[in-house]
Amino acid sequence: MSVRRRQVGDVVVLDVGGHFYGGRETGVLERVLFEEIELDSAAVLVNLSECMGMNSTGIGVLLRAHDASERRGSSLRFCGAAGRMKSLLSLLRAGALLDQHASEDEALAAFAQRVSA
């Protein structure tokens, strides 16, 4: 399990890797997400390309973080969900609630469009 933070221009990118099944790892993910939201990071991208799996607790963390960022006027997007993660998000219909993009480049371009609009 890992959550790595990096900066790409004005966007904070969180690379999420491993499994998130409601234990300590999910608590770390939640803490990192909400720290970024509380820091008023205007644009946060969660890259799920290395995430191998999540249960409903992990998905709930993503949904709560997305709602919290919208309430604060910031933008939280997701990219890179593939395999089991993509299937899980689709099955739970969470994908319709989260601002998802196929790739990091696509998500970064969407942030840029929002700024120029």
Residue 43, pLDDT score: 94
Core vs surface per residue 81-109: b (16+ CB within 10 A) or e: beeebeebbeeeebbeebbbbeebeebbe
Q: Decide if 51 contacts 81 (C-beta within 8 A).
A: yes
The mean pLDDT value for 27-53 works out to 94
**40 class by beta-carbon count within 10 Å (0-12 exposed, 13-18 middle, 19+ buried):** exposed
The mean pLDDT value for 16-40 works out to 94
> What's the mean pLDDT when you consider all of the chain?
90
Distance CA 3, CA 13 (A): 10
Phi, psi torsion values for 71, nearest 5 degrees: -65, -30
- The pLDDT tens digits of the residues spanning 75-110 come to 999 999 988 888 888 877 766 678 889 999 999 999
- Report the percentage of the chain scoring pLDDT > 90: 71
* Domains present along the chain, CATH in parentheses: 2-104 (3.30.750.24)
Residue 1, pLDDT score: 78
Distance CA 92, CA 73 (A): 26
Residue type, 109: A
